[in-house]
Structure 1
Protein backbone atom coordinates (compact mmCIF):
# COMPACT_ATOMS: atom_id res chain seq x y z
CA UNK A 1 0.00 0.00 0.00
CA UNK A 2 1.32 3.44 -0.91
CA UNK A 3 2.19 5.65 2.07
CA UNK A 4 -0.38 8.27 2.98
CA UNK A 5 0.88 11.85 3.28
CA UNK A 6 -1.35 14.62 4.59
CA UNK A 7 -0.71 18.09 3.14
CA UNK A 8 -2.17 21.14 4.88
CA UNK A 9 -2.33 24.37 2.91
CA UNK A 10 -2.80 22.38 -0.28
CA UNK A 11 -4.57 25.17 -2.15
CA UNK A 12 -1.57 27.48 -1.78
CA UNK A 13 1.07 27.89 -4.46
CA UNK A 14 3.70 25.75 -2.75
CA UNK A 15 1.19 23.35 -1.18
CA UNK A 16 -0.36 22.49 -4.54
CA UNK A 17 3.09 21.82 -5.99
CA UNK A 18 3.92 19.53 -3.05
CA UNK A 19 0.71 17.57 -3.64
CA UNK A 20 1.62 17.02 -7.30
CA UNK A 21 5.21 16.08 -6.42
CA UNK A 22 3.99 13.52 -3.89
CA UNK A 23 1.55 12.02 -6.38
CA UNK A 24 4.37 11.80 -8.91
CA UNK A 25 6.31 9.75 -6.34
CA UNK A 26 3.43 7.33 -5.94
CA UNK A 27 2.21 8.54 -2.57
CA UNK A 28 -1.42 8.63 -1.53
CA UNK A 29 -2.17 12.27 -0.73
CA UNK A 30 -4.87 13.66 1.53
CA UNK A 31 -5.12 17.39 0.90
CA UNK A 32 -6.52 19.45 3.77
CA UNK A 33 -8.33 22.60 2.70
CA UNK A 34 -10.43 25.11 4.56
CA UNK A 35 -14.22 24.71 4.11
CA UNK A 36 -14.35 28.10 2.37
CA UNK A 37 -11.61 27.21 -0.12
CA UNK A 38 -12.07 28.07 -3.80
CA UNK A 39 -14.05 25.23 -5.48
CA UNK A 40 -11.87 25.53 -8.57
CA UNK A 41 -8.75 24.88 -6.50
CA UNK A 42 -10.42 21.93 -4.76
CA UNK A 43 -11.42 20.50 -8.12
CA UNK A 44 -7.88 20.92 -9.44
CA UNK A 45 -6.46 18.96 -6.49
CA UNK A 46 -9.06 16.23 -6.89
CA UNK A 47 -8.41 15.92 -10.63
CA UNK A 48 -4.70 15.56 -9.90
CA UNK A 49 -5.51 12.53 -7.75
CA UNK A 50 -5.60 13.89 -4.21
CA UNK A 51 -8.19 12.98 -1.60
CA UNK A 52 -9.43 16.47 -0.71
CA UNK A 53 -10.75 16.97 2.82
CA UNK A 54 -12.33 20.30 3.76
CA UNK A 55 -11.72 20.72 7.47
CA UNK A 56 -11.93 23.56 9.97
CA UNK A 57 -8.80 23.83 12.10
CA UNK A 58 -10.99 24.98 14.98
CA UNK A 59 -12.58 21.49 15.00
CA UNK A 60 -9.98 19.30 16.78
CA UNK A 61 -11.87 16.03 16.29
CA UNK A 62 -12.26 16.61 12.55
CA UNK A 63 -8.60 17.55 12.26
CA UNK A 64 -7.55 14.36 14.06
CA UNK A 65 -9.71 12.27 11.72
CA UNK A 66 -8.15 14.01 8.73
CA UNK A 67 -4.67 13.02 9.94
CA UNK A 68 -5.43 9.39 10.77
CA UNK A 69 -3.39 6.79 8.93
CA UNK A 70 -0.78 9.21 7.65
CA UNK A 71 2.94 8.48 7.78
CA UNK A 72 3.73 12.21 7.63
CA UNK A 73 1.90 15.52 7.87
CA UNK A 74 3.30 18.30 5.69
CA UNK A 75 2.36 21.88 6.48
CA UNK A 76 2.51 24.41 3.67
CA UNK A 77 0.45 26.96 5.57
CA UNK A 78 1.27 30.63 5.02
CA UNK A 79 0.33 33.56 7.19
CA UNK A 80 1.11 35.42 10.39
CA UNK A 81 0.79 34.31 14.04
CA UNK A 82 -2.76 32.97 13.74
CA UNK A 83 -1.53 30.60 11.02
CA UNK A 84 2.17 29.85 11.58
CA UNK A 85 1.85 29.53 15.36
CA UNK A 86 -1.82 28.98 16.22
CA UNK A 87 -3.11 26.92 13.27
CA UNK A 88 0.09 24.90 12.97
CA UNK A 89 -0.07 24.11 16.69
CA UNK A 90 -3.61 22.82 16.16
CA UNK A 91 -2.40 20.74 13.21
CA UNK A 92 0.54 19.43 15.25
CA UNK A 93 -1.74 18.40 18.13
CA UNK A 94 -4.02 16.58 15.68
CA UNK A 95 -1.07 14.75 14.10
CA UNK A 96 0.16 13.63 17.53
CA UNK A 97 -3.35 12.55 18.60
CA UNK A 98 -3.75 10.58 15.36
CA UNK A 99 -0.46 8.78 15.92
CA UNK A 100 1.31 10.27 12.91
CA UNK A 101 5.05 9.58 13.26
CA UNK A 102 6.44 12.58 11.36
CA UNK A 103 5.73 16.29 10.77
CA UNK A 104 7.19 18.76 8.27
CA UNK A 105 6.45 22.35 9.33
CA UNK A 106 6.02 25.33 7.03
CA UNK A 107 9.57 26.54 7.56
CA UNK A 108 10.40 27.09 3.89
CA UNK A 109 12.75 30.06 4.18
CA UNK A 110 16.31 31.13 4.90
CA UNK A 111 18.03 29.42 7.82
CA UNK A 112 16.34 31.22 10.70
CA UNK A 113 18.35 29.14 13.18
CA UNK A 114 21.37 31.29 12.28
CA UNK A 115 19.56 34.61 12.80
CA UNK A 116 19.07 36.50 16.02
CA UNK A 117 15.48 36.95 17.22
CA UNK A 118 14.01 40.21 15.97
CA UNK A 119 15.87 40.28 12.66
CA UNK A 120 12.90 38.91 10.70
CA UNK A 121 9.32 38.98 11.99
CA UNK A 122 8.14 36.02 9.91
CA UNK A 123 11.16 33.94 10.91
CA UNK A 124 10.47 34.74 14.56
CA UNK A 125 7.05 33.14 14.14
CA UNK A 126 8.66 29.98 12.75
CA UNK A 127 11.08 29.96 15.68
CA UNK A 128 8.15 30.28 18.08
CA UNK A 129 6.38 27.32 16.50
CA UNK A 130 9.63 25.34 16.52
CA UNK A 131 9.59 25.51 20.31
CA UNK A 132 6.18 23.76 20.31
CA UNK A 133 7.27 21.25 17.68
CA UNK A 134 10.47 20.22 19.44
CA UNK A 135 8.55 19.47 22.63
CA UNK A 136 5.99 17.27 20.86
CA UNK A 137 6.30 13.46 20.74
CA UNK A 138 6.76 13.38 16.97
CA UNK A 139 9.74 13.37 14.61
CA UNK A 140 10.15 16.57 12.63
CA UNK A 141 12.02 17.73 9.55
CA UNK A 142 12.34 21.40 8.59
CA UNK A 143 13.32 22.20 5.02
CA UNK A 144 15.27 25.44 4.71
CA UNK A 145 15.50 26.56 1.09
CA UNK A 146 16.76 30.12 1.28
CA UNK A 147 14.64 32.49 -0.77
CA UNK A 148 12.21 31.27 -3.39
CA UNK A 149 13.90 31.93 -6.72
CA UNK A 150 10.69 33.38 -8.11
CA UNK A 151 11.38 36.65 -6.23
CA UNK A 152 14.08 37.32 -8.83
CA UNK A 153 11.28 38.03 -11.31
CA UNK A 154 9.71 40.78 -9.19
CA UNK A 155 12.27 43.57 -9.81
CA UNK A 156 13.46 43.58 -6.21
CA UNK A 157 16.49 45.75 -5.30
CA UNK A 158 18.74 42.69 -5.59
CA UNK A 159 17.80 42.13 -9.24
CA UNK A 160 15.91 44.96 -10.90
CA UNK A 161 15.48 44.65 -14.65
CA UNK A 162 13.48 47.89 -14.81
CA UNK A 163 16.34 49.84 -13.26
CA UNK A 164 18.85 47.61 -15.09
CA UNK A 165 20.87 46.96 -11.96
CA UNK A 166 21.88 44.38 -9.38
CA UNK A 167 22.04 45.79 -5.86
CA UNK A 168 23.92 44.42 -2.87
CA UNK A 169 24.81 45.18 0.73
CA UNK A 170 28.41 44.91 1.98
CA UNK A 171 29.72 42.13 -0.31
CA UNK A 172 29.18 41.71 -4.06
CA UNK A 173 30.57 38.17 -3.84
CA UNK A 174 28.24 36.97 -1.09
CA UNK A 175 26.51 33.72 -2.15
CA UNK A 176 22.72 33.85 -1.83
CA UNK A 177 20.52 30.75 -1.48
CA UNK A 178 17.67 30.45 -4.00
CA UNK A 179 15.36 27.49 -4.58
CA UNK A 180 12.58 27.36 -7.14
CA UNK A 181 9.15 26.43 -5.84
CA UNK A 182 9.09 23.32 -8.01
CA UNK A 183 12.48 22.20 -6.67
CA UNK A 184 11.37 22.88 -3.08
CA UNK A 185 8.16 20.92 -3.64
CA UNK A 186 10.00 17.97 -5.20
CA UNK A 187 12.49 17.87 -2.33
CA UNK A 188 9.73 18.14 0.27
CA UNK A 189 7.91 15.22 -1.32
CA UNK A 190 11.07 13.11 -1.14
CA UNK A 191 11.65 14.11 2.49
CA UNK A 192 8.03 13.34 3.44
CA UNK A 193 8.58 9.77 2.22
CA UNK A 194 11.97 9.50 3.93
CA UNK A 195 11.43 8.09 7.42
CA UNK A 196 15.11 8.71 8.26
CA UNK A 197 15.13 12.41 7.33
CA UNK A 198 16.96 14.52 9.95
CA UNK A 199 15.61 17.49 11.91
CA UNK A 200 16.91 20.05 9.38
CA UNK A 201 17.58 19.81 5.66
CA UNK A 202 19.19 22.75 3.86
CA UNK A 203 18.88 23.12 0.10
CA UNK A 204 19.35 25.57 -2.77
CA UNK A 205 18.72 25.28 -6.49
CA UNK A 206 21.56 27.74 -7.01
CA UNK A 207 23.69 30.16 -4.98
CA UNK A 208 24.76 33.12 -7.12
CA UNK A 209 26.48 36.20 -5.80
CA UNK A 210 25.31 39.65 -6.94
CA UNK A 211 28.38 39.84 -9.17
CA UNK A 212 27.48 36.48 -10.70
CA UNK A 213 23.88 37.63 -11.24
CA UNK A 214 25.20 40.42 -13.47
CA UNK A 215 27.06 37.86 -15.60
CA UNK A 216 24.12 35.44 -15.65
CA UNK A 217 21.73 38.18 -16.78
CA UNK A 218 24.08 39.03 -19.64
CA UNK A 219 24.34 35.37 -20.69
CA UNK A 220 20.55 35.07 -20.54
CA UNK A 221 20.33 38.20 -22.73
CA UNK A 222 18.62 40.12 -19.92
CA UNK A 223 21.42 42.62 -19.47
CA UNK A 224 23.63 44.53 -19.32
CA UNK A 225 23.02 45.31 -15.66
CA UNK A 226 25.00 47.61 -13.40
CA UNK A 227 26.37 46.31 -10.09
CA UNK A 228 25.41 48.83 -7.39
CA UNK A 229 26.37 48.84 -3.71
CA UNK A 230 23.26 49.83 -1.74
CA UNK A 231 24.99 50.15 1.63
CA UNK A 232 25.93 47.92 4.54
CA UNK A 233 23.80 45.37 6.35
CA UNK A 234 23.88 47.62 9.41
CA UNK A 235 22.50 50.49 7.34
CA UNK A 236 19.79 48.24 5.90
CA UNK A 237 18.82 47.10 9.40
CA UNK A 238 18.54 50.72 10.54
CA UNK A 239 16.44 51.59 7.50
CA UNK A 240 14.12 48.67 8.26
CA UNK A 241 13.51 50.01 11.76
CA UNK A 242 12.63 53.43 10.37
CA UNK A 243 10.26 52.05 7.74
CA UNK A 244 8.65 49.70 10.25
CA UNK A 245 8.02 52.51 12.72
CA UNK A 246 6.38 54.53 9.96
CA UNK A 247 4.10 51.66 8.92
CA UNK A 248 2.38 50.19 12.01
CA UNK A 249 -0.33 48.67 9.79
CA UNK A 250 2.35 46.41 8.37
CA UNK A 251 2.33 44.41 11.61
CA UNK A 252 -0.87 42.83 10.29
CA UNK A 253 0.41 42.29 6.73
CA UNK A 254 2.26 39.15 5.64
CA UNK A 255 4.52 41.02 3.22
CA UNK A 256 4.69 44.55 4.57
CA UNK A 257 7.26 46.80 2.92
CA UNK A 258 9.61 46.49 5.90
CA UNK A 259 9.11 42.70 5.98
CA UNK A 260 10.29 42.53 2.37
CA UNK A 261 13.38 44.47 3.45
CA UNK A 262 13.90 42.00 6.29
CA UNK A 263 13.95 39.18 3.73
CA UNK A 264 16.66 40.99 1.79
CA UNK A 265 18.68 41.42 4.97
CA UNK A 266 18.31 37.71 5.64
CA UNK A 267 19.58 36.86 2.16
CA UNK A 268 22.80 38.75 2.92
CA UNK A 269 23.12 37.49 6.51
CA UNK A 270 22.90 33.67 6.42
CA UNK A 271 23.85 30.88 4.05
CA UNK A 272 22.79 27.25 3.82
CA UNK A 273 25.91 25.25 4.61
CA UNK A 274 26.38 22.43 3.96
CA UNK A 275 23.69 21.73 1.37
CA UNK A 276 21.67 18.53 1.54
CA UNK A 277 20.85 18.57 -2.18
CA UNK A 278 22.46 15.18 -2.80
CA UNK A 279 20.29 13.33 -0.27
CA UNK A 280 17.82 12.40 -3.03
CA UNK A 281 19.94 11.74 -6.14
CA UNK A 282 16.95 11.32 -8.47
CA UNK A 283 16.11 15.02 -8.20
CA UNK A 284 17.23 17.43 -10.91
CA UNK A 285 17.97 20.96 -9.74
CA UNK A 286 17.08 24.04 -11.77
CA UNK A 287 20.13 26.02 -12.92
CA UNK A 288 20.22 29.81 -12.56
CA UNK A 289 20.67 30.28 -16.30
CA UNK A 290 17.66 28.08 -17.06
CA UNK A 291 15.62 30.02 -14.54
CA UNK A 292 16.59 33.47 -15.81
CA UNK A 293 16.10 32.44 -19.43
CA UNK A 294 12.64 30.96 -18.88
Structure 2
Protein backbone atom coordinates (compact mmCIF):
# COMPACT_ATOMS: atom_id res chain seq x y z
CA UNK A 1 0.00 0.00 0.00
CA UNK A 2 1.29 3.45 -0.93
CA UNK A 3 2.04 5.79 1.95
CA UNK A 4 -0.97 7.74 3.21
CA UNK A 5 -1.43 10.91 5.22
CA UNK A 6 -4.55 10.87 7.39
CA UNK A 7 -5.73 13.94 9.28
CA UNK A 8 -7.90 13.39 12.38
CA UNK A 9 -9.77 16.47 13.59
CA UNK A 10 -10.67 16.21 17.28
CA UNK A 11 -7.96 13.70 18.08
CA UNK A 12 -8.05 14.26 21.85
CA UNK A 13 -11.47 12.62 22.17
CA UNK A 14 -11.74 8.96 23.12
CA UNK A 15 -12.73 7.88 19.63
CA UNK A 16 -10.12 10.05 17.88
CA UNK A 17 -7.29 8.59 19.96
CA UNK A 18 -8.56 5.04 19.51
CA UNK A 19 -8.82 5.56 15.74
CA UNK A 20 -5.22 6.78 15.62
CA UNK A 21 -4.04 3.68 17.49
CA UNK A 22 -6.01 1.40 15.13
CA UNK A 23 -4.52 3.12 12.09
CA UNK A 24 -0.97 2.72 13.40
CA UNK A 25 -1.62 -0.95 14.11
CA UNK A 26 -3.10 -1.53 10.64
CA UNK A 27 -0.39 0.42 8.80
CA UNK A 28 2.61 1.36 11.00
CA UNK A 29 4.08 3.62 8.31
CA UNK A 30 0.92 5.74 8.00
CA UNK A 31 1.44 9.47 8.50
CA UNK A 32 -1.00 10.80 11.05
CA UNK A 33 -1.95 14.36 11.85
CA UNK A 34 -4.17 15.52 14.67
CA UNK A 35 -6.01 18.77 15.26
CA UNK A 36 -6.73 19.64 18.89
CA UNK A 37 -7.40 22.64 21.08
CA UNK A 38 -5.06 21.13 23.66
CA UNK A 39 -2.53 18.82 21.97
CA UNK A 40 -0.98 18.02 25.37
CA UNK A 41 -4.00 15.77 26.02
CA UNK A 42 -2.59 13.33 23.47
CA UNK A 43 -0.22 11.88 26.05
CA UNK A 44 -0.17 8.24 24.95
CA UNK A 45 3.44 7.24 24.08
CA UNK A 46 2.01 5.03 21.34
CA UNK A 47 0.88 8.21 19.55
CA UNK A 48 4.22 10.02 19.73
CA UNK A 49 4.56 9.87 15.93
CA UNK A 50 1.36 11.88 15.34
CA UNK A 51 2.00 15.38 14.01
CA UNK A 52 -0.20 17.55 16.23
CA UNK A 53 -1.68 20.93 15.29
CA UNK A 54 -3.05 23.28 17.93
CA UNK A 55 -6.29 24.97 16.92
CA UNK A 56 -10.07 24.87 17.23
CA UNK A 57 -12.82 24.06 14.75
CA UNK A 58 -13.14 27.69 13.63
CA UNK A 59 -9.45 28.55 13.23
CA UNK A 60 -9.27 28.56 9.43
CA UNK A 61 -5.54 29.25 9.16
CA UNK A 62 -4.57 26.35 11.44
CA UNK A 63 -7.08 24.05 9.77
CA UNK A 64 -5.54 24.87 6.42
CA UNK A 65 -2.10 23.86 7.65
CA UNK A 66 -3.58 20.73 9.21
CA UNK A 67 -5.36 19.41 6.09
CA UNK A 68 -2.83 20.45 3.42
CA UNK A 69 -1.48 17.36 1.66
CA UNK A 70 -3.77 14.89 3.46
CA UNK A 71 -5.27 11.93 1.60
CA UNK A 72 -8.35 11.92 3.83
CA UNK A 73 -9.70 14.07 6.65
CA UNK A 74 -11.60 12.26 9.40
CA UNK A 75 -13.71 14.43 11.69
CA UNK A 76 -14.13 13.24 15.29
CA UNK A 77 -15.86 16.33 16.65
CA UNK A 78 -18.46 15.90 19.38
CA UNK A 79 -20.56 18.79 20.61
CA UNK A 80 -23.53 21.05 19.95
CA UNK A 81 -25.10 21.80 16.56
CA UNK A 82 -22.88 24.85 16.00
CA UNK A 83 -19.76 22.71 16.20
CA UNK A 84 -21.23 19.70 14.42
CA UNK A 85 -22.64 21.68 11.49
CA UNK A 86 -20.78 24.98 11.14
CA UNK A 87 -17.51 23.55 12.43
CA UNK A 88 -17.67 20.68 9.95
CA UNK A 89 -18.61 22.98 7.08
CA UNK A 90 -15.43 24.99 7.67
CA UNK A 91 -13.36 21.81 7.78
CA UNK A 92 -14.99 20.52 4.58
CA UNK A 93 -14.53 23.82 2.74
CA UNK A 94 -10.86 24.16 3.63
CA UNK A 95 -10.17 20.48 2.87
CA UNK A 96 -11.76 20.88 -0.56
CA UNK A 97 -9.77 24.04 -1.25
CA UNK A 98 -6.58 22.17 -0.37
CA UNK A 99 -7.41 19.27 -2.68
CA UNK A 100 -8.20 16.62 -0.08
CA UNK A 101 -10.11 13.88 -1.96
CA UNK A 102 -12.22 12.42 0.90
CA UNK A 103 -13.91 13.63 4.08
CA UNK A 104 -15.19 11.25 6.77
CA UNK A 105 -18.01 13.00 8.63
CA UNK A 106 -18.51 12.76 12.39
CA UNK A 107 -21.40 10.27 12.33
CA UNK A 108 -20.91 6.82 14.00
CA UNK A 109 -24.63 6.86 14.43
CA UNK A 110 -27.92 5.10 13.92
CA UNK A 111 -29.15 5.10 10.33
CA UNK A 112 -30.40 8.67 9.93
CA UNK A 113 -31.02 8.05 6.22
CA UNK A 114 -34.34 6.48 7.24
CA UNK A 115 -35.50 9.64 9.04
CA UNK A 116 -37.23 12.74 7.76
CA UNK A 117 -35.05 15.80 8.17
CA UNK A 118 -35.35 17.04 11.76
CA UNK A 119 -37.53 14.11 12.91
CA UNK A 120 -34.80 13.11 15.37
CA UNK A 121 -33.16 16.46 16.06
CA UNK A 122 -30.16 14.89 17.81
CA UNK A 123 -29.11 13.50 14.42
CA UNK A 124 -30.14 16.45 12.26
CA UNK A 125 -26.54 17.68 12.20
CA UNK A 126 -25.51 14.41 10.50
CA UNK A 127 -28.20 14.92 7.87
CA UNK A 128 -27.19 18.55 7.31
CA UNK A 129 -23.53 17.66 6.82
CA UNK A 130 -24.51 14.88 4.41
CA UNK A 131 -26.54 17.38 2.39
CA UNK A 132 -23.65 19.84 2.40
CA UNK A 133 -21.10 17.30 1.22
CA UNK A 134 -23.45 16.34 -1.61
CA UNK A 135 -23.08 19.87 -3.02
CA UNK A 136 -19.30 19.53 -3.30
CA UNK A 137 -17.71 18.73 -6.64
CA UNK A 138 -14.14 17.97 -5.57
CA UNK A 139 -14.31 16.18 -2.24
CA UNK A 140 -16.18 12.93 -1.63
CA UNK A 141 -18.13 12.43 1.57
CA UNK A 142 -17.97 9.31 3.72
CA UNK A 143 -20.54 8.47 6.42
CA UNK A 144 -20.01 5.54 8.77
CA UNK A 145 -23.17 4.27 10.47
CA UNK A 146 -22.70 1.80 13.34
CA UNK A 147 -25.92 2.13 15.36
CA UNK A 148 -24.97 3.17 18.88
CA UNK A 149 -21.67 2.78 20.69
CA UNK A 150 -22.19 -0.23 22.96
CA UNK A 151 -19.82 1.27 25.54
CA UNK A 152 -21.94 4.42 25.76
CA UNK A 153 -25.35 2.72 25.70
CA UNK A 154 -24.47 0.71 28.80
CA UNK A 155 -22.51 3.43 30.60
CA UNK A 156 -24.00 4.47 33.98
CA UNK A 157 -24.90 8.00 32.83
CA UNK A 158 -27.42 6.67 30.28
CA UNK A 159 -29.26 4.69 32.98
CA UNK A 160 -30.31 1.96 30.55
CA UNK A 161 -28.47 -0.66 32.58
CA UNK A 162 -28.48 -0.18 36.36
CA UNK A 163 -25.64 -2.37 37.60
CA UNK A 164 -26.37 -1.75 41.29
CA UNK A 165 -29.96 -2.97 41.03
CA UNK A 166 -29.42 -5.36 38.09
CA UNK A 167 -32.16 -3.61 36.16
CA UNK A 168 -32.80 -2.71 32.53
CA UNK A 169 -34.69 0.58 32.13
CA UNK A 170 -36.42 0.84 28.78
CA UNK A 171 -38.96 2.75 26.72
CA UNK A 172 -41.40 1.19 24.26
CA UNK A 173 -42.19 -2.50 24.28
CA UNK A 174 -38.71 -3.80 24.90
CA UNK A 175 -38.84 -5.68 21.60
CA UNK A 176 -37.40 -2.83 19.52
CA UNK A 177 -34.16 -3.91 17.85
CA UNK A 178 -31.01 -2.00 18.75
CA UNK A 179 -27.94 -1.81 16.53
CA UNK A 180 -24.82 -1.67 18.69
CA UNK A 181 -21.09 -1.57 17.95
CA UNK A 182 -18.24 -1.12 20.41
CA UNK A 183 -15.84 1.82 20.31
CA UNK A 184 -13.00 -0.53 19.39
CA UNK A 185 -14.81 -2.25 16.52
CA UNK A 186 -16.06 1.11 15.22
CA UNK A 187 -12.52 2.48 15.25
CA UNK A 188 -11.24 -0.63 13.47
CA UNK A 189 -13.91 -0.29 10.78
CA UNK A 190 -13.12 3.42 10.42
CA UNK A 191 -9.39 2.75 10.14
CA UNK A 192 -10.08 0.32 7.28
CA UNK A 193 -12.25 2.95 5.57
CA UNK A 194 -9.55 5.61 5.99
CA UNK A 195 -6.99 3.32 4.34
CA UNK A 196 -9.26 2.38 1.43
CA UNK A 197 -9.03 5.23 -1.07
CA UNK A 198 -12.18 4.01 -2.85
CA UNK A 199 -14.38 3.84 0.26
CA UNK A 200 -16.94 6.62 -0.14
CA UNK A 201 -20.62 7.30 0.47
CA UNK A 202 -22.77 5.82 3.23
CA UNK A 203 -21.20 2.74 4.82
CA UNK A 204 -22.99 0.57 7.38
CA UNK A 205 -21.33 -1.66 9.97
CA UNK A 206 -22.81 -3.28 13.06
CA UNK A 207 -21.53 -5.38 15.93
CA UNK A 208 -24.89 -6.77 17.04
CA UNK A 209 -28.62 -6.29 16.56
CA UNK A 210 -30.62 -7.15 19.67
CA UNK A 211 -33.61 -6.05 21.75
CA UNK A 212 -33.62 -5.20 25.46
CA UNK A 213 -35.72 -8.29 26.16
CA UNK A 214 -33.25 -10.52 24.33
CA UNK A 215 -30.38 -8.91 26.23
CA UNK A 216 -32.16 -9.85 29.45
CA UNK A 217 -32.66 -13.44 28.25
CA UNK A 218 -28.98 -13.72 27.35
CA UNK A 219 -27.92 -12.43 30.76
CA UNK A 220 -30.19 -14.96 32.47
CA UNK A 221 -28.74 -17.77 30.36
CA UNK A 222 -25.14 -16.75 31.07
CA UNK A 223 -25.39 -15.75 34.73
CA UNK A 224 -28.36 -17.83 35.85
CA UNK A 225 -30.29 -14.82 37.14
CA UNK A 226 -32.93 -12.80 35.31
CA UNK A 227 -32.36 -9.03 35.47
CA UNK A 228 -35.20 -6.76 36.54
CA UNK A 229 -37.11 -4.93 33.80
CA UNK A 230 -38.32 -1.38 34.47
CA UNK A 231 -40.69 0.14 31.90
CA UNK A 232 -40.25 3.92 31.66
CA UNK A 233 -43.13 4.54 29.26
CA UNK A 234 -44.09 4.46 25.60
CA UNK A 235 -42.01 5.74 22.72
CA UNK A 236 -44.62 8.47 22.24
CA UNK A 237 -44.10 9.59 25.84
CA UNK A 238 -40.33 9.58 25.35
CA UNK A 239 -40.68 11.67 22.20
CA UNK A 240 -42.84 14.23 24.03
CA UNK A 241 -40.25 14.50 26.81
CA UNK A 242 -37.43 15.01 24.32
CA UNK A 243 -39.35 17.73 22.48
CA UNK A 244 -40.02 19.48 25.78
CA UNK A 245 -36.37 19.28 26.83
CA UNK A 246 -35.31 20.57 23.43
CA UNK A 247 -37.46 23.64 24.00
CA UNK A 248 -35.79 24.18 27.38
CA UNK A 249 -32.18 23.62 26.35
CA UNK A 250 -32.11 24.43 22.64
CA UNK A 251 -29.63 22.74 20.34
CA UNK A 252 -27.27 21.57 23.10
CA UNK A 253 -28.41 17.95 23.11
CA UNK A 254 -25.84 16.95 25.70
CA UNK A 255 -27.40 19.12 28.40
CA UNK A 256 -30.43 16.87 28.68
CA UNK A 257 -29.85 13.52 26.94
CA UNK A 258 -28.52 11.88 30.10
CA UNK A 259 -31.46 12.87 32.31
TM-score (norm 2): 0.87
Matching of residue 118 in structure 1 with residue 121 in structure 2: no
- Structure 1 residue 45: Cα displacement: 6.8
CA 1:233–1:23: 2 relative to 1, 3 Å: same
CA 1:253–1:58: 2 relative to 1, 3 Å: closer
Larger strand fraction of residues: 2
Aligned counterpart, 1:285: none
C-alpha distance in 1 between matches for 2:45 and 2:106: 19
- Does the residue aligned with 1:201 lie in a helix, a strand or coil? strand
Q: Give unmatched runs, 5+ long, in structure 1.
A: 262-294
C-alpha distance in 2 between matches for 1:194 and 1:128: 25
C-alpha distance in 1 between matches for 2:65 and 2:46: 19
Kindly report which structure 2 residues correspond to 1:151-230, keeping only aligned pairs within 5 A, or say none: 151-154=153-156, 156-221=158-223, 223-230=225-232
Comparing 210-219 with 130-139, greater Cα deviation is found at 210-219
User: Is contact 2:171–2:232 with CA below 8 Å preserved after alignment?
Assistant: yes
User: Is contact 1:145–1:204 with CA below 8 Å preserved after alignment?
Assistant: yes
User: Is contact 1:6–1:31 with CA below 8 Å preserved after alignment?
Assistant: yes
C-alpha distance in 1 between matches for 2:34 and 2:91: 13
User: Is contact 2:20–2:47 with CA below 8 Å preserved after alignment?
Assistant: no
User: Is contact 2:117–2:124 with CA below 8 Å preserved after alignment?
Assistant: yes
Comparing 134-143 with 217-226, greater Cα deviation is found at 217-226
- Structure 1 residue 55: Cα displacement: 3.0
CA 1:43–1:239: 2 relative to 1, 3 Å: closer
C-alpha distance in 1 between matches for 2:219 and 2:33: 41
C-alpha distance in 2 between matches for 1:117 and 1:189: 29
Give the superposed CA RMSD. Answer: 2.3
C-alpha distance in 1 between matches for 2:173 and 2:195: 39
User: Is contact 1:10–1:31 with CA below 8 Å preserved after alignment?
Assistant: yes
CA 1:169–1:17: 2 relative to 1, 3 Å: same
C-alpha distance in 1 between matches for 2:48 and 2:122: 31
Q: How many residues align?
A: 254
C-alpha distance in 2 between matches for 1:159 and 1:117: 30
Aligned counterpart, 1:139: 140
- Does the residue aligned with 2:113 lie in a helix, a strand or coil? helix
Kindly report which structure 2 residues correspond to 1:1-294, keeping only aligned pairs within 5 A, or say none: 1-26=2-27, 27-34=30-37, 37=38, 39=40, 41-44=41-44, 47-137=47-137, 138-150=139-151, 151-154=153-156, 156-221=158-223, 223-245=225-247, 248=248, 250-251=249-250, 253-257=252-256, 259-260=257-258
